[in-house]
Chains A and B, each alone.
Chain A
Amino acid sequence: MTKVQATISSFWSKGSEKKAKPRTDGGGEGVADATEPKRARKENVQSSNSVEVMDREADVKVPKTDAGTVQDDAEAKKVEVEKETTTEERATKKKAVAVRKLTSETGEKSKNAEAETSTDKASGATWKAGQPVPYQFLAVGFGKVESITGRLEITDILRRMFQTIVETTPEDLLPAVYICVNKLGAPQEGLEIGVGEGILIKALSHTCGKSVNALKDEFRKVGDLGDLAASMKASQRTVFKPAPLTVRSVFKEFKAIAKSSGRSAMDEKRARIQKLLVASEGAETKYLARAFQGKLRIHIADKSILAALAESFPRPEETVERVGSDMSAASLLTHAYNQHPVWDTMLNYLLNNRVVDSGILDACKLTTGVPISPMLAKPTKGIDEVVEKFSDQPFTCEYKYDGERAQIHHLADGSIQIYSRNAENQSEKYPDVKLAMKDVLGPDYSNSEYILDAEVVAINPQTNHILPFQSLQTRARRDVSVAEVKVAVCVFAFDLLYFDKPLIHDPLKQRREKLRACFVEKEPVFTFAKGCDMNDPGEITDYLHESVKGGCEGLMVKQLLGPAATYEPANRSQNWLKVKKDYLEGLTDSLDLVPIAGYYGKGKRTGVFGAFLLACYNPESEQYETTCKIGTGFSEAQLTEFSEFYNEKDRIIGGRKSYYVFSGSTSLEPDVWFEESQVWEVRCADLTVSPAHTAAIGSVDPEKGISLRFPRFLRIRPDREPQNASSSEQIMEMYLAQP
């Protein structure tokens, strides 16, 4: 990559003196090229093509309205530009040198990363204080981060990047952080970059002059669009390079791409993506392409950003004792972010105060309207584990409903907002819930602000019976009106995080009391989660069976009292345990299935099959019927082994065999079909009816088959022939035997 950056990739700088003389047929000098110093002809021609005068290339097109003034403005601008040319040129030259320095330093720096101590002052700014931070600066940093795995080193690189930005252009810190985490704002704002592979490849094709098909072939080999884009971009020069990308301009474009909608949205997105790609170079191209896809793959999580920010500002000693005064900088920021996960708020505080102190906990407080990441439970391998953990403390068992996690906020303005587990706003999807929540508050509390943690579950409104998760999935996601709701749901509330003030530091027992005191159940749309406080772990088994009979996934076991009973946002905590029904004996029978097709792996799994299509055998029709796509439970060695196995001896066949029954589902269409060769033992969470699969089709549903949910690979069964695999009938029986 460094080699690419060092190569001058475009020829003519727009800042060249020829600018003042716009006609092309005036005599002049050729531009020398840095790759061949011999040809650096006359001194007055600069070779600093890689850096351009900023913001020159606006390409703005406006239909003419008041052309007179517009024209005059343009004229005036031109004159101004000409005057500026000489000074700008000097600056341009300087910048070019600086950028080149940066590029060559990059390699050395990562090597010396260990040698440098953490007290090392931030440096390496290639721009003047107050000037926009170049995107190149972040991209080069990402390259360093990607090449290492040590958490501490990554934090240190980020810390240095942040400090440099704070010292020069602090207002660019926010867009820089958003670009690092590849987000466009807080999740509840619902803006996402995610651009499909198709558009991206099209844009890339327009950028590098390669055909879409050639790029697709190449993509299959390379496996990563970022790497592909970078190598393609580096293989073709440009005549004039647009102004270098800046952090703020890239972030602004990302938002524009995410916001483009309507009939020509796809074309607009493509054009904007292309414009960014054209202006990008080296590492920039790579990380732009990845960012468009929604994954940077550099292992920077919120956690790393928080750790780096904590080290970017001093942590003064606090003499006055108060909440957080004794915390480390990192835990202060983590604490603050968990309760108010909005980068804007946090950075605002940090940039205004330039220290990390306990004051940040006042700035970043749990607030209605700002969803927090929910507390999650640790999975257990069985009841024994629960017994061990809770043997000597009071705990409660709650039904684990199989629905969608929902955080319901009642704001000061009286509105109700429903957020998903990932903090996306789901209010549009659940107008019926919004309506139901209107009068669940007790008579004395109708104006109270609150945040409820709950599970939204599909129910049969006649019988009030719980329906499986799949029913919920059939609900429309957007523009739902109450009258159109076909799948009725019930809100099972199990926790109260805020009631006119944050409650998350109170123990569960207290929070639950408050919940039950201030809210009224309203069957069948709003009830409290069913639960039972216990002292004897022996009772758990019976209760688990009961919950499964009631249509639930299992149990949640939670500590009731003490410091371990607080609500821990964004944490998969030891203090909440889940016991799922597939841990119950009898439900965990494994299945023996046959891989009949494969899917090429991406990312880490490039070069091997990343997933497989599994089928059961129907001895009556002598056909293989698909039942799931499997991609978990494999070790890396196993994936390599299977790829080698299927790639030899003609085990990959030209197309689907006539006796492979396939639903034709486009999302399941595999890359290659296999000869039926092996039998694999597979375990799953449960079985479900699916139109995408064909196992036992016609038995439970005339047009749908039975599929495995969350299949995990266990082992190969060398002792079995494909025809001895689990039969369609067995699968049907297992499905019917489910409670």
Chain B
Amino acid sequence: MFEARLEESAVLKKILDSVRDLVQEANWDCNDDGIVMQSMDSSHISLVCFMVRASSFEVYQCERNVSLGVKIDSLAKVLKCAASDDSVTLKADENEPNTMDILFESKKNDRISDFQLKLMVIDQEMLGIPESDYTSTVEMSSAEFRRIMGDLSTMGDSVTIEINKGGASFSTKGDIGSGNICLQKSASVDKPKDGVKITMVEPVKSTFSLKFLNIFAKAAALSDTVVLSMSEEYPIRIEFAIDKDVGYVRYYLAPKIEGQES
């Protein structure tokens, strides 16, 4: 029997919120390390994956690797029935994962709810993402990232992200005009999370769809900071580390090809 117990359902809720706009259903691969999900959106423009490490569960028991075919919306519906501070336990039969048992227990132990969710067979292979040595990275506050993406969306539908010696800039153009937001390295003494850390081996510049970036930005709920990793002509990686070393949600987004649009 596969079993995993999280102290608070809130984490799982937030993870689901961070993937549900991109993915309808996906396999949750459970093994000794933890739970991993990875899937492209239907347009193949972006890829999202998350990991929750085994160590972050109160109870984690996985005798045999198992893939759970989860319909994200359905699971989100079930999780709505849990209070944020309820603990949540996921259980499935490793040999016949037809259903997943989901158990919520309130803090005071006075309420226990038990749901059973049907699982699907999803013939979806695990795609190997080549781990790149990105030439430039920016670490910044996730709230700031969310704000920048939101602000630029009022102007245009794509953003050009450029990292060079001067800092990191985000610019867009639209029918009504253009906009540019520039961030420089900074260290905030009292709030280290508000600082901006930039590492750059080579300058890089790529353009991406704001529609996707705005979806990704919602994962700010999971983490105070976000790391953007870029290489020229390569998908950008946007990582939200889940607090307390629980795991991460990562997004990959393929760039636009400039000069193709009239």
Is B124 engaged at the interface, CB distance under 8 Å to the other chain?
yes
Tell me whether B120 and A9 are in contact (CB under 8 A). Answer: no
Which of A58, A61, A81, A240 lies in contact with B25, CB distance below 8 A? A61
Instruction: Given the known inter-chain contacts A24-B250, A235-B256, please indicate yes or no for A70 contacting B44, CB distance below 8 A.
Output: no
| Pair A240/B123 contact, Cβ less than 8 Å | no
Chain A proximity of B99: nearest CB distance (Å): 8
Closest residue on chain A to residue B121 by CB atoms: A62
Q: In the complex, A486→B262 CA distance in Å?
A: 54
A36 touching B233 by the CB < 8 A rule? yes
* A27: nearest chain-B partner, CB-CB: B131
Which residues of chain A have C-beta atoms less than 8 A from B257's C-beta? Answer: 7, 9, 234-237
Q: Which of A14-22, A89-97, A422-430, A617-625 contacts B (4 or more CB under 8 A)?
A: A14-22
CB atoms of B254 and A64 under 8 A apart: no
Q: B235–A239 contact, CB under 8 A?
A: yes
B97 contacts A by Cβ under 8 Å:
yes
Q: Which of A61, A81, A237 contacts B256 (CB 8 A)?
A: A237
Interface centre among A23, A28, A39, A234 (most CB of B within 10 A): A23
CB-defined interface of A191-222 with B at 8 Å, one 1/0 digit per residue? Answer: 00000000000000011111100100010011
Residue B138, interface by CB 8 Å: no
B211 within 8 A of A: yes
Check A12 against B127 for contact (C-beta < 8 Å). Answer: yes
Given A61-B25, A61-B123: A237 in contact with B97 (beta carbons within 8 A) = no
Chain B contacts with A in 141-200, Cβ cutoff 8 A? 157
CB-defined contacts of B131 to chain A, threshold 8 Å? 24-30
- With A21-B128, A222-B262: A239-B98 Cβ-Cβ less than 8 Å: no
> How many Å lie between the Cα of A24 and that of B234 in the bound state?
16
Q: With contacts A208-B43, A234-B257, A236-B45 known, is A30 near B120, CB below 8 A?
A: no
Determine how close the nearest CB of chain A comes to the CB of B165; give it in whole angstroms.
20
A60 CB–B CB distance under 8 Å:
yes
When the two chains form their complex, are residues A62 and B120 in contact, meaning their CB atoms are under 8 A apart?
Answer: yes
Complex contact B43–A16 (CB within 8 A): no
Q: What's the minimum C-beta distance from A304 to chain B, rounded to whole angstroms?
A: 32
Assembly CA distance A25 to B131 (angstroms): 7
Given contacts A23-B36, A39-B232, contact A274 B125 (CB under 8 A): no
A30:B132 contact, CB within 8 angstroms: yes
Contact A29 B98 (CB under 8 A): no
- Cβ of B40 within 8 Å of any chain A Cβ, yes or no, is yes
- Which residues of chain B are within 8 angstroms of A236 by Cβ–Cβ distance? 45, 209, 254, 256-257
- A63 close to B (CB within 8 Å): yes
- A654→B225 CA distance, assembly (Å): 50
Q: For residue B211, which residues in chain A have a CB less than 8 angstroms away from its CB?
A: 209-211
Chain A minimum-CB-distance residue to B31? A23
How far, in whole Å, are A499 and B227 apart by their CA atoms in the complex?
A: 80
CA distance A235 to B254 in the complex (A): 11
* CB of A59 closer than 8 Å to a CB of B: yes
Residue on B nearest A20 in the bound complex, by CB: B128
Q: A11-B235, A12-B129, A235-B256 are in contact. Are A68 and B96 (CB under 8 A)?
A: yes
Q: How far is the CA of A430 from the CA of B38 in the complex (A)?
A: 55
Counting contact residues on chain B (CB < 8 A from A), the size range is 35 or more
Scan B89-129; emit 1 where CB is below 8 A from any A CB, else 0: 00000011110000000000000000000111111111111
Q: Which residues in A have their C-beta under 8 angstroms from that of B127?
A: 12, 14, 19, 240
Give CA–CA (A222, B262) in the complex, Å. Answer: 9
Q: Which residue of A lies closest to B44 (CB)?
A: A238
Residues of A within 8 A of B51 (CB): 24-25
* Chain B residues whose C-beta falls within 8 Å of the C-beta of A30 in the assembled complex: 130-134, 231, 234
Assembly CA distance A588 to B180 (angstroms): 66
Decide: A39 and B130 in contact? CB cutoff 8 A. no
Report if A573 contacts B (CB, 8 A).
no
Q: In the assembled complex, how far is the CB of residue A241 from the closest CB belonging to chain B, in whole angstroms?
A: 7
A31 at interface (Cβ–Cβ under 8 A)? yes
Given contacts A58-B123, A209-B209, A236-B257, contact A241 B132 (CB under 8 A): no
Query: Is A241 a contact partner of B44 (Cβ separation < 8 A)?
Result: yes
Question: Which residue of A28, A211, A274 contacts B43 across the interface (Cβ within 8 Å)?
Answer: A274
- Quick check: is B245 within 8 A (CB to CB) of the other chain? no
List B residues 214-249 near A (Cβ within 8 Å).
231-235
- Flag if B47 contacts A239 (CB, 8 Å): yes
Q: Shortest CB–CB separation between residue A335 and chain B, in angstroms?
A: 47
Tell whether, in the assembled complex, residue A29 and residue B45 are in contact, meaning their CB atoms are under 8 Å apart: no
- What's the Cα separation between A222 and B261 when bound, in Å? 11
Kindly report which residue of chain B lies nearest to residue A63, judged by CB atoms. B120
**Distance of A221 Cα from B120 Cα, bound (Å):** 44
Taken together as a complex, chains A and B put the C-alpha atoms of A708 and B12 apart, in Å, by 66
Flag if B262 contacts A11 (CB, 8 Å).
no
The interface size bin for chain A is 35 or more
B46 contacts partner chain A, Cβ-Cβ < 8 Å:
yes
CB of A281, distance to nearest CB on chain B (Å): 12
Q: Judge whether A10 and B44 touch: CB under 8 Å.
A: yes
| CB atoms of B40 and A29 under 8 A apart | no
Residues of A within 8 A of B119 (CB): 64, 67
Determine the chain A residues whose CB is within 8 A of the CB of B36 once the complex forms.
23-24
The CA of A218 and the CA of B258, in the complex, are separated in Å by 16
Which of A243-286 touch B at CB < 8 Å? Answer: 271, 274-275, 278
Among A30, A210, A234, max chain B CB count under 10 A is at A30
Q: Please tell me if A71 contacts chain B, counting CB pairs below 8 Å.
A: yes
Instruction: Verify A61–B212 contact, CB threshold 8 A.
Output: no
User: Chain A residues near B40 (CB, 8 Å)?
Assistant: 239-240
Give the complex CA separation of A78 and B124 in angstroms: 11
Q: A22, A211, A218, A278: which has the most chain B beta carbons within 10 Å?
A: A22
CB neighbors of B among A617-673 (8 A) = none
The smallest C-beta distance from A10 to any residue of chain B, in angstroms, reads 7
Selected contact of B128 from candidates A12, A206, A209, A242, CB within 8 Å: A12
A278 neighbours in B (Cβ, 8 Å): 42-44
Asked if A76 is at the interface (CB within 8 A of a chain B CB), the reply is: no
Report A274-300 residues with CB < 8 Å from chain B CB. 274-275, 278
- Nearest residue, chain B, Cβ from A26: B131
Within 8 Å CB of B232, what residues of A?
36, 39
Q: Are A24 and B38 in contact (CB under 8 A)?
A: yes
Expressed in whole angstroms, the minimum distance between the Cβ of B250 and any Cβ of chain A is 7
Does B83 count as interface, using CB distance less than 8 angstroms?
Answer: no
User: Are B261 and A235 within 8 A (Cβ)?
Assistant: yes
Shortest C-beta distance, A327 to chain B (Å), equals 50
Chain A proximity mask over B42-72: 1 for CB below 8 Å, otherwise 0: 1111110101000000000000000101000
How many Å from the CB of A8 to the closest CB on chain B?
Answer: 9
Inside 8 A of A26's CB, which chain B residues have their CB?
A: 131
CB-based contact B121/A19 at 8 Å: no
Q: Which residues of B contact A4 (CB under 8 A)?
A: 260
A45 close to B (CB within 8 Å):
yes
Q: Which residue of A lies closest to B252 (CB)?
A: A239
- Tell me, yes or no, whether A301 is within 8 Å of chain B by CB: no
Closest to B202 in A: A39
Do A207 and B43 touch (CB < 8 A)? yes
Name the residue of chain A whose CB is nearest to the CB of B46: A239
Contacts of A21 in B (CB 8 A): 128
Complex Cα distance, B254 from A23, in Å, reads 20
Q: Considering residues B38, B129, B209, which has the most beta carbons from chain A within 10 angstroms of its beta carbon?
A: B129
Q: Give the B-binding residues of A (Cβ under 8 A).
A: 4, 7, 9-12, 14, 16-31, 33, 35-36, 39, 45, 56-65, 67-68, 70-71, 74, 78, 81, 206-211, 214, 218, 221-222, 231-232, 234-242, 271, 274-275, 278
A11-B235, A64-B97, A241-B44 are known contacts; what are 18 more A-B pairs with Cβ within 8 Å? A10-B44, A12-B130, A14-B127, A24-B129, A30-B132, A35-B233, A62-B120, A63-B120, A64-B118, A71-B97, A74-B67, A206-B43, A211-B211, A236-B256, A236-B257, A237-B45, A240-B47, A271-B42
Can you list 24 pairs linking A and B with CB atoms under 8 Å apart?
A4-B260, A7-B257, A12-B127, A12-B128, A12-B129, A18-B130, A22-B29, A22-B126, A24-B49, A29-B130, A31-B234, A39-B233, A58-B123, A59-B124, A63-B118, A64-B97, A68-B95, A209-B45, A234-B260, A237-B235, A237-B257, A238-B254, A239-B253, A274-B43
In order of increasing CB-CB distance, the 10 nearest A-B pairs are A18-B128, A30-B132, A22-B126, A235-B260, A238-B44, A237-B254, A209-B209, A28-B131, A60-B123, A64-B98
